[in-house]
Amino acid sequence: MAVYTEVDDDELEAFLATYDIGELRSYKGIAEGVENSNFLLHTTAGTYLLTLYEKRVAPEDLPFFLGLMNHVASKGIACPVPIRDRKGEMLGTLAGRPAAIVSFLEGLSVRKPQPKHCAELGAGLARFHLAGADFPLRRANALTVSGWRPLFEASRARADEVSRGLAAELADELSALEASWPHDLPQGVIHADLFPDNVFFIGEHLSGVIDFYFACNDTLAYDLAICLNAWCFEHDGSFNITKARALTQAYNHVRPLDAAELAALPLLARGSAMRFLLTRLYDWLHHPPGALVKPKNPLEYLKRLRFHRSLSSPAAYGLD
Ligand SMILES: Nc1ncnc2c1ncn2[C@@H]1O[C@H](COP(=O)(O)OP(=O)(O)O)[C@@H](O)[C@H]1O
Ligand SMILES: N[C@@H](CCOP(=O)(O)O)C(=O)O
């Protein structure tokens, strides 16, 4: 369960008194999530989400994340809106942690996305990219190609405990990605973690996007490649081209991909599979016994990586 920092009632009341969001009626910790401590707040003015930022979020990045949510929300993207305190600040301190309150989003994430959900996602992602185009702050992606080798080296010696031959396969793959990674594709603000648990739907319609805490400036089509990996594979590891077609065509309709982006898509998808494989591998090998959050299976992403490596054209994703 993702409540790492407990908050006592008096501290919370004092914190809320610095905001103009009514009186606290009730609150509870939220079990989902991995990185931060989240609480649902019910006040006389409505429902809000309180986040205490834990160790893996660098405090200096918070103005980027909160500013981005504020910026894209002002352009019509359905996402949490940071609530300002009476002094106009979006960020405060609670229980010794940086803390923020954001608006609560209605909707539910889907466990088994269908093509309709993928189409909604594709259009929503493209709109998010367009909305972020004039966001003035910058944040480099620590988990792009240059960050993968240190991550790999931190797990390399024990990688074969997870699967025999994994260290050698990843070493080869990493060298190939480093040698061919595209650096001149259209850039912008990307979400970088748009997994099904971070997208809410009401019925088949996208009602909101959350968890902007990996957002950064990077290759726009890489965000689409992340979604291909996270949304278009079945639980048995097979690729679902119907979902991929729905995702990529809906994206392309709102923000047309240029020829270079299209051609690079299999490579970007390989890279994206590598990125999630490496963070999962690290967490798998390094999580303390009895940790609150169960690490995710890195090998799911090895299968995806191999699939993308076998492709030679973006037609496999439903794009010609
Ligand atoms: N603005 C919001 N509105 C409604 N629910 C939210 C909101 N933000 C977070 N949640 C809930 O909290 C959970 C954890 O949030 P998330 O940002 O994914 O945490 P973490 O960064 O720790 O992984 C989500 O799965 C969702 O249930
Ligand atoms: N989406 C990542 C892990 C990050 O978890 P989140 O709860 O912050 O989305 C993965 O699946 O490896």
282 lines ligand 2 (CB under 6 A): no
Could you tell me which residues come within 8 angstroms of residue 17 by beta carbon, excluding any fewer than 6 positions away? none
Q: What is the pLDDT of residue 291?
A: 67
pLDDT at 32: 82
Which residues have C-beta atoms less than 6 Å from ligand 1? 2, 30, 32-36, 38, 49, 80, 102, 104-105, 197-198, 210-211, 213
**All structural domains of the chain with their residue ranges:** 9-103, 115-317
DSSP secondary structure string for all residues of 231-269: HSB-TTS-B-HHHHHHHHHHHHHHSPPPHHHHHHHHHHH
Contact, 185 vs 219, CB < 8 A? yes
11, 36 in Cβ contact below 8 A? no
**What's the CA-to-centroid distance between 158 and ligand 1, angstroms?**
32
Task: Round to whole Å and give the CA distance between 209 and 78.
Answer: 6
Q: Which ligand has an atom closest to residue 208 CA?
A: 1
Q: How far apart are CA 300 and CA 237, in angstroms?
A: 7
Nearest CA, atom 26, ligand 1: 32
Query: Coil, strand, or helix at residue 59?
Result: helix
Ligand 2 in contact with 129 (CB < 6 A)? no
Distance CA 196, CA 198 (A): 5
Render pLDDT for 281-318 as a digit per residue (tens, 0 to 9).
999 999 877 666 788 999 999 999 999 999 989 999 99
Architecture of domain 115-317: Alpha-Beta Complex (3.90)
Contact 211 CB / ligand 2 (< 6 Å): yes
User: Hey, what CATH class is 9-103 in?
Assistant: alpha beta
Predicted pLDDT of residue 153: 98
Does residue 280 have its Cβ closer than 6 Å to ligand 2?
A: yes
Q: Measured in angstroms, how far is the CA atom of residue 259 from the centroid of ligand 2?
A: 30
User: How many Cβ atoms are within 10 Å of 283's Cβ, its own excluded?
Assistant: 17
State the distance from the centre of ligand 1 to the C-alpha of 142, rounded, in angstroms: 22
Mutation to probe ligand 2, out of 38, 65, 191, 193 (largest number of atoms < 8 A from CB): 193
> What is the best residue among 1, 4, 34, 274 to mutate for testing ligand 2's pocket, by most ligand atoms within 8 Å of CB?
34
197 pocket-lining for ligand 2 (C-beta < 6 Å): yes
210 pocket-lining for ligand 2 (C-beta < 6 Å): no
| Spatial distance between the Cα atoms of 6 and 127, rounded to a whole number of angstroms | 37
* pLDDT given at position 52: 96
- In the three-class reduction of DSSP (H, G, I as helix; E, B as strand; rest coil), residue 277 is classed as helix
| Helical residues (DSSP H) of 75-165, grouped into ranges | 115-131, 145-156
Q: Which atom of ligand 1 is nearest to the CA of 104?
A: 3
d(CA 182, CA 231): 23
- Using a 10 angstrom Cβ sphere, with 0-12 exposed, 13-18 middle and 19 or more buried, the burial of residue 52 is buried
Supply the pLDDT for residue 228.
98
Q: What is the pLDDT of residue 239?
A: 98
Q: Do the first three CATH levels of 9-103 and 115-317 match, i.e. the same topology?
A: no
State which ligand 2 atom lies nearest to the alpha carbon of 198. Answer: 9
Q: What is the pLDDT along the chain (320 residues), one digit of tens a residue?
A: 477 888 989 999 999 999 999 999 999 999 887 789 999 999 999 999 999 999 889 999 999 999 999 999 999 999 999 999 999 999 999 999 999 999 999 999 999 999 999 999 999 999 999 999 999 999 999 999 999 999 999 999 999 999 999 999 999 999 999 999 999 999 999 999 999 999 999 999 999 999 999 999 999 999 999 999 999 999 999 999 999 999 999 999 999 999 999 999 999 999 999 999 999 999 999 987 766 678 899 999 999 999 999 998 999 999 87
Indicate the pTM of the whole model: 0.96
At 1 the pLDDT is: 47
